Amino acid sequence: MSRRVLSVFAVEGIGEITAGDDLATVIHEAVRGELRDGDILAVTSKIVSKAEGRVRRAADREEAITAETVRVVATRAHANGVTRIVENRLGIVSAAAGVDASNTPEGTVLLLPVDPDGSAHRLRAELHRRCSVNVAVVITDTLGRPWRNGQTDVAIGVSGLAPLADLRGSVDSAGRRLSATVTAVADEIAGAADLVKGKTSGCPVAVVRGLANLVSVPNNDDGGARLGHAGAAALIRSAEQDMFRLGTAEAMAAGREEGLETGRREGLEAGRREGLEAGRRQGYRQGYEAGLKATSGLPVSGCSSTTASTP
């Protein structure tokens, strides 16, 4: 029986990245021919953002968070201000829309890449051209997790592998058919890579080796970049499937507002019905009384209105 082995190692010598740097060149020089077919490169989103010029002044952080936000999920006040959990324009729900002040020059903050999947595709294609090896690329970022303490790296950009492994319909070791198991493979790779990259080591790139079965064959029509899957966007839960779209306080406030609006509508409708009914009753009474009044002075049928004379 063959033993399955996974190895992960950090790529050293990346150095500080600035706007306009060619990441493919920097990484190609740093790996020094160590890449093999089937390797997976995990690249921290920060260096992608720096190369793409996604740097802002720290004084504009709150404004940047607002600009990157499409939906507020929850807000919490604390001693140092207010934390905003929001959905950003990529569909990712995170604190501060992913606007980050760590591992960036003093006085600046970093925004997430504009198109992380596109960045992953381009980097993969360029490395394939330069190194003649078939690798996958996962762009990672650090997120907190609902119901769990601590943070972990997840995939926000993917090229060269399917981000999800859908095991529904397969059979487990006991012969039971799986009905709900979908594994977030790209997130697991990002978490594993962060164990060697770390947050303070200055190693923003890692190589994950031993998962060649997950790496797709490049498409020569587009330089080995795209592979017909949805990239990391497939990892984002849709609104229809999201059972916890709001924080507790926000959900309660929304529920109260919805209840008030529903109550107003139902109250108006009930008032309208009661008003119509009252109007009908009043109209009936008035019509009946008017009819009686109109007929009160008329002769009764069969009776003469003259007095007979005596002989």
Are both 237 and 128 inside the same structural domain? yes
Are both 252 and 234 inside the same structural domain? no
pLDDT of 301 strictly over 60 = no
pLDDT, tens digit (0-9, with 9 covering 90-100), for 218-238: 754 444 444 445 799 999 999
Instruction: Extract the tokens encoding 310.
Output: 């005596």
Are both 278 and 158 inside the same structural domain? no
Beta bridge partners of 145: 148
Are both 204 and 235 inside the same structural domain? yes
Domain contains 32: yes
Pick 58 or 291 by higher pLDDT.
Answer: 58
Read off the pLDDT of each residue in 255-260 and give the average, rounded to a whole number. 84
Helices and strands: H and E segment counts in the chain = 6, 12
Are both 119 and 260 inside the same structural domain? no
Number of domains in the chain: 2
Domain contains 11: yes
Domain carrying residue 212: 7-54+113-244
**pLDDT value, residue 1:** 63
In the numeric block, the tokens 């493979």 are attached to 185
Are both 194 and 138 inside the same structural domain? yes
In the numeric block, the tokens 């492994």 are attached to 165
Are both 199 and 272 inside the same structural domain? no
Summary mean pLDDT of the chain: 87
Are both 219 and 272 inside the same structural domain? no
Domain contains 78: no
Cβ partners under 8 Å of residue 296, min gap 6? none
Domain contains 107: no
Are both 257 and 207 inside the same structural domain? no
- Domain-ending residue, one of 226, 244, 262: 244
Q: Which CATH number characterizes residue 231's domain?
A: 3.30.1330.100
Are both 235 and 271 inside the same structural domain? no
pLDDT, tens digit (0-9, with 9 covering 90-100), for 269-295: 888 888 888 888 888 888 888 778 878
Are both 153 and 238 inside the same structural domain? yes
Are both 174 and 200 inside the same structural domain? yes
pLDDT, tens digit (0-9, with 9 covering 90-100), for 159-193: 999 999 888 878 778 888 877 788 999 999 999 99
- This prediction has a pTM of 0.79
pLDDT, tens digit (0-9, with 9 covering 90-100), for 125-136: 999 999 889 999
Q: In what order do the strands lie in the sheet with 93-95?
A: 69-78, 81-88, 93-95
pLDDT of 262 strictly over 90 = no
The whole-angstrom separation of Cα 134 and Cα 155 is 19
Least confident of 9-23, 104-118, 186-200, 266-280: 266-280
The whole-angstrom separation of Cα 79 and Cα 57 is 23
User: Between β-strands 182-183 and 81-88, what pairing exists: parallel, antiparallel or unpaired?
Assistant: unpaired
